[in-house]
């Protein structure tokens, strides 16, 4: 519809020029049109420009999903900065770590929020809080905003994910990384100005890049779903009917919730054209049920780590064949990327991805960036850590991980980060986390705990301790007490024995 943009904020400007009176965002009973959203973000960008920010500044967004938070994201990009979306439901300590780690120049907060959730206890004197005119939001300014370290050229956003070292790690994306993915989506999923997209994923989750920017590029309407309503399957079913959503994108967990508890057969969902799912395996039985209830929709299995966003896709054949018992493959590599298999000894073949949508690396972590990438035939490749095979149709089939990263409800979880947190608890002498899969292919996290003999601990206390440091989706599902965590001959945790205990 439009010429290719160079920066993400140009998508909004272009759509506002062509379709100023079309709805851009809907949130609960509110709506904003494209000309209004563009004007609002431009005004806020002008205010940011007056602060003397260095090009490539980093701005945190600790806001609930709403119309204002979208305007803020585009304002940051327009002002020459990169946005860092923070999880408003995450523990304050985790958000403080991220804010310190990426050296924020400023942080956006709701006007009525607790100031202490955004700052270190010993650094209040280094910050100033100002109210943004005509908007119920505050900006926390750091006193040395002009001296913050440089960002890589063209940096647009940083998404923090669970880290194997026990701390979250920031994955860096440029405008061109995102636009490569957005332009591919535009050709793959028939989106235009009459489309209505769902925005279920939180902005710190990589699924949100599709929601936010693909809709804005095509002057489509985006229905914002906040964290509270996103967990209510009945409300989600109602929302699809009321807003006439054409493109739905979420994890299989959410779709299964709607199937089992959303009473979707009572609602008119004939508007649905595309149902996209990603982040975890979708068991065949509930997927088949959903395709029978929504026979008019096209279903796609999208796969990819945060570092590549979506890198492979598979169109679900309809009607589903009766012989299908195993989950569907992750499919073929998207046309804007390249893929190849690298043999990893006895482990198997690892899927590696190259192309313009692959992230540029990890924030302030050259070692991790180097460990996860390599060069071959003049191209830079990202090692996904996922072992795959190729079926008779030439599609990639996911097998397992090389490392100890797992997915839970679509979110990436490093088991080492959970162990690191539990080792902080004075009553515990050792802890080891493993991942299991139930009969519905739902990932579960179990932790084996070795406590001091005199201590009396229960699962409620352990979960509460974890919630002080970890987001809710990383909190273990089950704790198992052992007198001694088994070790290998080299005194490392014997995870194979622990998995045997758990089976």
CATH number reported for the structural domain that contains residue 16 in this entry:
3.40.50.12780
44, 80: one domain: yes
Alpha helices in 50-139 (DSSP H): 67-78, 92-101
Q: Which of 198, 230, 262 is the last residue of a domain?
A: 230
Length reported for the chain:
503
**Which of 368, 401, 434 delimits the end of a domain?**
401
Q: Are residues 226 and 87 in the same domain?
A: yes
Provide CB contacts within 8 A for 435, sequence distance 6+: 406, 408, 413, 415, 443, 444, 445, 446
pLDDT of residue 52: 85
473 within a domain of the structure (yes/no): yes
Q: Are 99 and 168 in contact (CB under 8 A)?
A: no
Tell me the DSSP string of 312-345.
EEEEPPSSPPTT--SPPP-BEE-TTSEEEEEE-T
Task: Give me the tens of pLDDT residue by residue for the chain, a chain 503 residues long.
Answer: 455 678 999 999 999 999 999 999 999 999 999 999 999 999 999 999 998 888 899 999 999 999 999 999 999 999 999 999 999 989 999 999 999 999 999 999 988 776 454 444 444 445 677 777 678 888 888 867 666 778 899 999 999 998 766 689 999 999 999 999 999 999 999 999 999 999 999 999 999 999 999 999 999 999 999 988 999 999 999 999 999 999 999 999 899 999 999 999 999 999 999 999 998 889 899 999 999 999 999 999 999 999 999 999 999 999 998 888 888 999 999 999 999 999 987 778 999 999 999 999 999 999 999 999 999 989 999 999 999 999 999 999 998 888 878 888 778 888 888 988 898 888 888 888 888 877 666 778 999 999 887 777 888 999 999 999 998 889 999 999 998 888 876 677 888 888 887 66
**In this structure, what CATH number is given to the domain that contains residue 482?**
3.30.300.30
Closest CA to 25 of 35, 11, 13, 17: 35
* Neighbouring residues of 497: CB distance < 8 A, sequence distance ≥ 6: 486
Tell whether 225 and 338 lie within a shared domain. no
Q: Partners of 332 in the beta sheet?
A: 313
Report the b/e string of 418-455 with b at 16+ CB within 10 A. bbbbbeebeebebbbbbbeeeeeebbebbbbbebeeee
Task: Examine residue 27 and state whether it is found in any structural domain, yes or no.
Answer: yes
Closest CA to 382 of 301, 278, 304: 304
pLDDT at position 174: 97
Statement to judge: residues 105 and 131 lie in one domain = yes
Do 67 and 110 fall within a single domain?
yes
The answer to whether residue 289 sits within a structural domain is no
* pTM for the predicted model, two decimal places: 0.88
Token output for 287: 């997927």
Contact status, residue 200 vs residue 252, Cβ threshold 8 Å: no
- Residue 160: strand pairing partners: 170
The total domain count for the chain is 3
Closest of 365, 9, 463, 440 to residue 163, by C-alpha = 365
Q: Determine the Cα–Cα distance for residues 175 and 156; give it in Å rounded to an integer.
A: 5
Specify whether 389 is located in the same domain as 495.
no
434 and 373 inside one domain? no
Identify whether 248 is part of a domain: no
Q: Which of 230, 250, 271 is a domain's end point?
A: 230
Same domain membership, residue 79 and residue 218: yes
- The structure tokens listed for 28 are 């609960």
Question: Is residue 91, in this structure, part of any structural domain at all?
Answer: yes
Q: Are residues 349 and 461 in the same domain?
A: no
Comparing CA positions, the residue from 33, 81, 24, 78 lying closest to residue 53 is 81
Pair (185, 149) in one structural domain: yes
Give yes or no: residues 440 and 378 share one domain. no
* Residue 146, in any domain of the structure: yes
Dist. CA 174–CA 403, nearest whole Å: 27
| Residue range of the domain that includes 397 | 332-401
Asked if the structure places residue 285 within a domain, the reply is: no
Given this model, what pLDDT does residue 18 score?
97
CA dist., res. 288 & res. 46, Å (int): 50
- Domain assignment present for 254: no
Please report, for the domain that includes residue 355, its CATH number. 2.30.38.10
What is the strand order of the sheet 478-481 is part of? 428-437, 443-451, 478-481
Same domain? For 372 and 465 the reply is no
Q: Which residues contact 190 (CB under 8 A, 6 or more apart)?
A: 273, 274
Cα–Cα distances in angstroms (integers) from residue 458 to residues 66, 102, 461, in the given order: 38, 36, 6
């Amino acid at each position: 519809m439009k010429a290719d943009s160079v920066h993400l904020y140009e998508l909004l400007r272009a759509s506002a020029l062509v379709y100023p009176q079309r709805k851009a965002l809907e949130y609960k009973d509110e709506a904003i049109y494209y000309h209004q959203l563009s004007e609002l973000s431009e005004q806020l960008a002008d205010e940011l420009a007056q602060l003397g920010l260095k090009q490539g500044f980093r701005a945190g967004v600790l806001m609930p999903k709403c119309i204002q938070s979208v305007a803020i994201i585009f304002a940051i990009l327009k002002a020459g900065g990169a946005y860092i979306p923070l999880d408003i439901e995450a523990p304050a300590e985790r958000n403080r770590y991220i804010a310190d780690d990426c050296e924020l120049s400023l942080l956006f907060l709701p006007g009525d929020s607790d100031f202490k959730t955004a700052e270190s206890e010993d650094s209040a004197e280094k910050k100033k809080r100002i109210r943004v005119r005509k908007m119920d939001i505050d900006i926390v300014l750091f006193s040395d905003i002009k001296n913050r370290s440089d960002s890589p050229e063209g940096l647009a956003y940083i998404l923090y994910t669970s880290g194997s070292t026990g701390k979250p790690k920031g994955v860096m994306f440029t405008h061109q990384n995102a636009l490569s993915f957005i332009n591919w989506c535009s050709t793959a999923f028939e989106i235009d100005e009459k489309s209505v997209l769902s925005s279920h994923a939180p902005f710190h989750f990589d699924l949100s890049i599709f929601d936010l920017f693909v809709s804005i590029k095509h002057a489509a309407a985006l229905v914002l779903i906040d964290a509270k309503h996103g967990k209510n399957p009945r409300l989600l079913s109602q929302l699809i009917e009321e807003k006439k959503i054409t493109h739905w994108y979420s994890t299989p967990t959410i779709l299964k919730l709607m199937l089992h508890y959303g009473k979707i057969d009572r609602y008119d969902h004939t508007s649905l054209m595309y149902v996209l799912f990603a982040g975890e395996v979708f068991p065949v039985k509930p997927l088949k049920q959903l395709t029978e209830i929504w026979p008019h929709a096209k279903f796609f299995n999208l796969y990819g780590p945060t570092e590549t966003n979506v890198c492979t896709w598979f169109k679900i054949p309809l009607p589903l064949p009766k012989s299908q018992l195993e989950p569907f493959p992750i499919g073929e590599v998207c046309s804007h990327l390249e893929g190849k298999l690298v043999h990893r000894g006895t482990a198997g073949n690892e899927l590696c991805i190259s192309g313009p949508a692959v992230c540029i690396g990890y924030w302030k972590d050259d070692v991790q960036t180097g460990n996860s990438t390599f060069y071959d035939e003049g191209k830079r490749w990202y090692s996904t850590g996922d072992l795959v095979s190729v079926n008779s149709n030439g599609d990639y089939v996911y097998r397992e991980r090389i490392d100890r990263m797992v997915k839970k409800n679509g979110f990436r979880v490093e088991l080492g980060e959970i162990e690191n947190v539990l080792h902080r608890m004075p009553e515990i002498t050792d802890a080891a986390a493993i991942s299991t899969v139930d009969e519905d292919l739902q990932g579960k996290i179990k932790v084996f705990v070795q406590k001091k003999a005199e201590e009396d601990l229960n699962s409620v206390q352990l979960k509460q301790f974890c919630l002080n440091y970890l987001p809710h989706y990383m909190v273990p599902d089950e704790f198992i007490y052992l007198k001694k965590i088994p070790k290998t001959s080299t005194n490392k945790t014997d995870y194979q024995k622990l998995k045997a205990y758990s089976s």
